[in-house]
Structure 1
């Protein structure tokens, strides 16, 4: 497996975890809105960049 593809998978998983945490904290009102916005934006950036790395990396044997 390619290093870029592995790194993209890790970024995607971290982005999903960040987005789920931000949504869960928003529903339960367990954090301030500023921290939720920061966590949500960072999670979204990780998710999009991870998907982009996985999608645009070619498999070369």
Structure 2
């Protein structure tokens, strides 16, 4: 297994974790400004990590 693929899988897992954490915050939010800021921050970081991890895994050649 390639080091880039491992890093891509790690980024993907971090992205999924960030998106799940965003969903948990969204479910327990009361609509305050701090809640909205944390939703935006964790959501954007989760999507960014997820997309970069998936693209890194997809574009890396599987050479043995």
TM-score normalised per structure 1: 0.93
Computing the radius of gyration from Cα coordinates, the structure with the larger value is: 2
Alignment partner of 1:23: what SS? helix
Give the gaps of 5 or more residues in structure 2: none
Give the gaps of 5 or more residues in structure 1: none
List structure 1 segments (4+ residues) > 3 angstroms apart after TM superposition: none
RMSD over aligned CA atoms reads: 1.2
| 1:9-42 deviation line (CA, Å, top 9, x unaligned) | 0000000000000011111117610111010000
TM-score normalised per structure 2: 0.89
